[in-house]
Every structure is written in structure tokens, then in C-alpha cells.
Structure 1
């Protein structure tokens, strides 16, 4: 028995990815293009094992209606779309035409572009365009960290009973225990709010930079 998650060396991380759901050619090319085009921002892309987990989780939940807040170049949305039920739909919210233009190409290449709707603009405003009823099966939040409470407030009331919200970067590379920036402080406060939210049951997993899964009552 181990008392906590083990640290991942580069070698062990490669083994984990290879023995999970290894990235296919589309995912590898997307990751490589993102790094080449946007080297300073490439860390915004989800980790390969996280993408595999999103596909697995979406399939496990039988997701038909999904939302993503923060799309970047499209790896997480590609992963979610691949896990949707046959008639499933994913609505993505992002503010960048530049980044999401890459996403659109890879959605088409993977054959999932017909399942995805992209809405450009401030997500806090555009989420309010969604039906004000409990219809969402799954939501993924991975955008500006100070906006997390806004996105949470809009999404929780729109989740069906048993629906799941996944929230990325909840560990801030370990800085949540000693916040050093406005984003660190925002996430630390957000994590406390999720813990106290009686509308959900939540767990925090040490996947990539920390992933919270919250099941809505």
C-alpha cells in the first residue's frame, strides 16, 4: 500500500502514457504543431494522459450534452468529442480565433467537427446563452483562472442530476498551498468554494496539474 500518489519521472510518465491510451497520429500532430506555433503557450494544452482520461470519462458517463470552457488549440475538445454518444454534442467557449483555428482543423481531421459548436467571446457572457435548465451531462473548465467561479456559477445549475464537471489546474503546480500570484490565489479560493458547495460531491485527482471532478446532485 502507498499513502500518496507517486511522483512521475519523465521515464515513468512515458510508460504511463504508452500503457494508457497512447496518442494516435492526430493527437501527436496536434501537440507538435501547438508546440511549434505557440511555444510560450503550449503548456496550456492538456497532458496526453489527461486527454485519454477525458475520452474515457465521457464514454463512461454516456455523455450527450457537453460544454468546454477554454478550448485553446483543441486537444481537450477533441478528446471529449471522441467520447460522446453517437448523437452527442459539445459546445466550446473560447475568446481566441487564432488558437481555435488550429482546433477546427484537427476536429475536421479527426472526423468530429460535426459534433462540435464553437462560440467565440467571453465565456461568462456566452454561457448564459445556454438553456436555463438542467440538461448538461458533462462540462470541462480550463480557462482563465480568475473566471472559474463565474463559469462554475453558470454551469452547476445547468447540469443534470448526476452530471459531472471537470476542472483543470486545481493544484497550480503545487502553489495552492502557498499562493504566489493572483491566479494561484483565485484557484485556492475556488477549491475552498467547491469543497463547501453542498450541490456537488467532489474529488481532486493528481492528474497533470490537478483535476477536480464534481458530481452534481
Structure 2
């Protein structure tokens, strides 16, 4: 039997992630808070704005899927909304939408007239997203393109267009997505990259996991790219914020 698009992409997106999750959870910590002691994580979430009923309902539906761990946690969603509202992008793009939680959070931070382009390969997962975008009243601000994200990006004009981008798809393609996004980002545009710590495996001297290898190489690429300013944050499984500089920085 032929595999559905969702089956194909889940095999890529979750390559080796089962092993990483099991090892990351040995100390009883949640998958999305492996870098914080449980009391600290609880304190942080208790003193942050909670998700509303629509986000809670979407989380509950997503939790029934085998790939539920691919959804961003609530605190990361809140961070995405705050950052989006602060940047006020006219055009934003998301690579890897899954069931739409992060897209909903980004869309809620858009300014009047702002639009979000979502790129995903799965009609199955994004059908859930569409339902909850409609419930949240953000559907009119989101455009969804189904198909390989690299192909969709490659078809866009190679000119500065986006003020904000969020990468959260198959890790082995991160470098390709970045290369395609960069010329399409406006000066001072921000690229947010998820899962840059790979459950802590990026600090190990060796890994046979393709996702870990690819993310480690990608992290090194960003750190040495004179065209951008970069900061890596220990939110969830690691979040990198990349600012496209108006002109390349001068080596020190």
C-alpha cells in the first residue's frame, strides 16, 4: 500500500527521535523541558500567560496522534505570539505546520494586514489546523501551501519578502531551508529555528542520528555566518533566533 504524505514526512521528521526522547526522559523530565529541573519548569509555566481554550482543545486533539511530540509546548507558543507582535511582520512564513498550533500563535501576533504562509506536506495534519484556525478567527490571515517546503520556497521570487520565518520541519533539511529563506528575508528580518539542541545530543562528541548530525552542522553554520546575528535559547528543545543584518558584520 502506498504511503500517505503524512506517513512519508513523519518518517523523516521523526528520524531517530524515539531514541532521543527515551534518553532525554531518563530522569523523568518532560520531553519539552529536558534542560530545566521540574520545579523550575513548573514555576515558569505557572507565572506565564496560559493558553486559551482553543489552544487547549487543539493540544488535546494533537495529543491523540502518534506524532504528538512534534507540537510546540504552550510556553513556546506564547513566546511566538509575543515575538511576532513585537516584530509586527507584514509577511511571515512557517516551514512545518503539523496541526497548526505554532501557526495559530504566530497569526495572533500579526499586525493588521499581516499574512502568514504555512508550508507543509500533510493534508491530514493541516486539516486539523484549518479547523482550529477557523475557530480562532485567524484563517483569513493564513495561506497554506501543501507540498515539499523546499519546492514551495524555490517557487517564490528570490527577493526580500518576509520579516519573520519559523523553521520546524525535517531537521536534515534545515540548511536547505535556511539557504532558500535567506535571500527572501528582509534586512533585520528574523528567522526562528526550533529543536536546535536535539534533546541535548548536540553536545555529545559523536552521534549516528542523521537529525543530530544535521542540526550540529547547521548550528555551526549559523555561528559562523557573518550575515546574521544569532542567539540560542533553552526554550523547549532549543530555539535559535537569527537576525539578518543590513550588512555583514566585520570580523573581530
- Identify the TM-score tier after normalising by the shorter chain: over 0.9
- 1:187 corresponds to 2:215: yes
TM-score of the superposed pair, with normalisation by structure 2 = 0.81
**Aligned partner of 1:35 among 55, 58, 63:** 63
- Computing the radius of gyration over CA atoms, which structure comes out larger, 1 or 2? 2
Match for residue 8 of structure 2? none
Shift in Å, 1:15? 3.1
TM-score of the superposed pair, with normalisation by structure 1 = 0.93
C-alpha separation in 2, matches of 1:59 and 1:198: 27
Shift in Å, 1:174? 0.1
C-alpha separation in 1, matches of 2:225 and 2:202: 19
Report the 3-state secondary structure (helix = DSSP H, G, I; strand = E; otherwise coil) of the residue aligned with 1:212: strand
Shift in Å, 1:11? 4.3
Match for residue 172 of structure 1? 198
Q: State the Cα deviation string for residues 103-152 of structure 1 (Å, max 9, x = none).
A: 00000000000000000000111101222211210000000001101100
C-alpha separation in 1, matches of 2:35 and 2:180: 35
Which sections of structure 2, spanning at least 5 residues, go unmatched? 1-33, 246-252
**Bigger Cα displacement from structure 2, 141-150 vs 16-25:** 16-25
> Which has the bigger relative contact order, CA under 8 A and spacing at least 6?
2
Match for residue 12 of structure 1? 40
Match for residue 234 of structure 2? 206
Match for residue 22 of structure 1? 50
Match for residue 171 of structure 2? 145
The number of residues matched between the two structures is 210
Q: Which runs of 4+ in 1 moved over 2 A?
A: 6-15
Match for residue 3 of structure 1? none
- 1:1-217 matched pairs, under 5 angstroms: 7-36=35-64, 38=65, 40-178=66-204, 179-217=207-245
User: Over the residues paired in the alignment, what is the CA RMSD in angstroms?
Assistant: 1.3
Report the 3-state secondary structure (helix = DSSP H, G, I; strand = E; otherwise coil) of the residue aligned with 2:63: helix
Which sections of structure 1, spanning at least 5 residues, go unmatched? 1-5
